[in-house]
Structure 1
C-alpha cells in the first residue's frame, strides 16, 4: 500500500460515509446514506456484504453488547446483521422531520457522540448529541445546517466538530460528566478547497478531515496547523478510517452525489472505497454502551 490513494472496492456509492474499522471481525464497516445500505468490507478476503437500510443511514458503530448501533433518519437503532433487523433505541429529533442523523463516534466511556443535519441543506437545524445507555441528549453546542463528526481525542477530553457549510472545524473540551465547554476555533477550509466532511483523530493526536468537493483529505496538528494533504482522483472524499494491520491503512469513503454526468465521466472511480498508507497509525474504535 503506497501513499497515493487507490480504489480497493468498486462500489459507485451515491454518498459513501462513516467508515469504521471493527477489530472484533477485522473488517471495515461503512454506509451509503442516499442509497440506504450498510456495507462490510473484508480486505483479507476482498469481499463485500451489504444490508439494505429502511431509511437514510448516516453512521454505524459497534455495540459493546454485540451487534451495532446505527443512525437512521428515523432515529438511533440497534442493528443485527445476522437477521437484518433494526430496533429503535431513541428518536432524538422526531419533532424535526426534515432532519437526519449524519455522523458519529464513540468515546472511551462508551458514549456515542452524534450529529444531525437538515436533509435539504438549508435550515440551521443540525445539532450535536451525546448518547449513553440508549438515550441521546443535546451537547449544548450551537446549531448549524450540516454537522460532521464529532471526532474524539484518545483521552476522550477533546471533541472536534464540523460546520460543513461554514467550512469551519471547532474544538471543545468534554468533562467527566459529559458536558461540553471551552469551544474554540480550530481550522478553516478556504474557498475553493471544498467543504470539511468527516473528521477522525490518529494515534499522534492529529486530526484528519475529508474534503467534499476538495479532491483530498487533510491532516492538522492538535493546534490546528495544516501538516499534510493527500490528493485523490475523485472530488468528494467524505471520511477516512484507520484499519488493517496495526491500524496503519487509511480507508476513505467517497461519493457520486452532486456530480454531473460530465463530471462522472471524468471521475469513473467516484463513490469507490479507497485506501492509502497515511504514514501514521490510527486509534482503535470504541464500542457503544447501550444498556
Structure 2
C-alpha cells in the first residue's frame, strides 16, 4: 500500500504546451510509439495530434463531432462521434461506421467521453447537449462492436478511467459534482459496488475528464473550477494544481516516462471580458508530476 502525504502537495509550474484556442478541447491521449498527444475539439468536429518536441499540431475535420476516441491494437483509431462509433484506419482515411449507430435518431445526444479497459473493451458515455432529459448513459463496447447499456439516468457521462489493475473504474455524471467509483472485473467486463469516491462542493467546479496514475490516485479536471486535483484511492484530496483558465476539461499523462500531465481546456461560452482575463483559454497546458500516469490500453476491435 502506497502511503500518501497528509498535507496537500505543492503545486508545480504550469506551462502552455499548445496555445490551441480550442472551442472545446477534450480527450487528450498520449500515443507512446508516435510520441504525440492526440486530442479533439468537439465543437469544431476536429481531431488533432500534437508533437510537443516540434510544436506541430495536425488536424482532421469531420462531418460530425468526435467526443472521444481510443487507439486500436490493429492501428488507427476508434472514434466516438455524434451518432455512433467509427473506425479511422489511419490518419488520412475516412471514418467507417462501426457497430450500431445508436444515437442517430436522438438529436439531443452525442458520445462524450470514454476509456478502454485492459481486455480491449471501450467504455463510452453520452451527453444530453440540450439538457432536455436525464437520458445520457454509460455503454460498454465489445471488440466485435456490440454495445451494451451499463448505466443510465445522466445528463453528462464523463471522467471514465480504469486503475492500473483494471479493478477500479471511475466516472461522473458531471452536473452532480460526484465522482463515482466501482469495482471492475477485468475478465467479465462488469461493474459492482458503486460508491461516491469524492463529492465536490457545488460552485467550485465540477468533475470533467480524469485519469488514474500508477499509485492508484485519480486526477480530475474541474470545469469552471480552474484547477485539476489528485485524489487518493480513498477519495482524499492530495494535491491541487491551479490553472490560469477556468474551464479545464480533461487531464492525461504523456512524455517518455508519462510524468508530464497534459490538460485540455475550453473557451466556448466565455464572453469578451472573460477571454480578456483568460487569454490562454482553450490552450493545452502541461506540468510535471512525480508519479507517472498509465499507458492507454488499445481497443481490441
Task: Give the TM-score range, shorter chain.
Answer: over 0.9
Q: Distance in 2 between matches of 1:190 and 1:22?
A: 34
Q: How does 1:74-153 map to 2 (within 5 A)?
A: 74-90=83-99, 91-133=101-143, 134-139=145-150, 141-153=151-163
**CA shift at 1:142, angstroms?**
3.8
Q: Distance in 2 between matches of 1:67 and 1:174?
A: 27
For the pair 1:224 / 2:224, whether they are aligned, the reply is no
Q: For structure 1, which runs of at least 5 residues remain unmatched after alignment?
A: none
CA RMSD, aligned part only?
Answer: 1.3
SS of structure 2 residue aligned to 1:259: coil
What whole-Å deviation, never above 9, does each CA across 1:7-35 have from its counterpart, x for those lacking one? 11111000000000011211100000001
Give the TM-score taking structure 2 as reference length: 0.93
For the pair 1:286 / 2:278, whether they are aligned, the reply is no
Divergent runs of 4+, >4 A: none
Which of 204, 226, 237 does residue 248 from structure 2 map onto?
237
**CA shift at 1:199, angstroms?**
1.3
Q: May I ask how many residue pairs the two structures share in their alignment? A: 288
Q: Distance in 2 between matches of 1:121 and 1:17?
A: 20
Q: Distance in 2 between matches of 1:227 and 1:75?
A: 37
Give the TM-score taking structure 1 as reference length: 0.96
SS of structure 2 residue aligned to 1:69: strand
Q: Which residue in the other structure is 1:179 paired with?
A: 190
* Conservation of the 8 A alpha-carbon contact between 1:114 and 1:149: no
Q: Which residue in the other structure is 1:27 paired with?
A: 36
**CA shift at 1:195, angstroms?**
1.1
* Conservation of the 8 A alpha-carbon contact between 1:238 and 1:252: yes
* Conservation of the 8 A alpha-carbon contact between 2:83 and 2:102: no
Q: Distance in 1 between matches of 2:266 and 2:91?
A: 27
* Conservation of the 8 A alpha-carbon contact between 1:4 and 1:231: no
Q: CA 1:117–1:82 in structure 2 vs 1: closer, same or farther (change >3 Å)?
A: closer
Q: Distance in 2 between matches of 1:247 and 1:227?
A: 19
Q: For structure 2, which runs of at least 5 residues remain unmatched after alignment?
A: 1-10
* Conservation of the 8 A alpha-carbon contact between 1:29 and 1:60: no
**CA shift at 1:278, angstroms?**
2.1
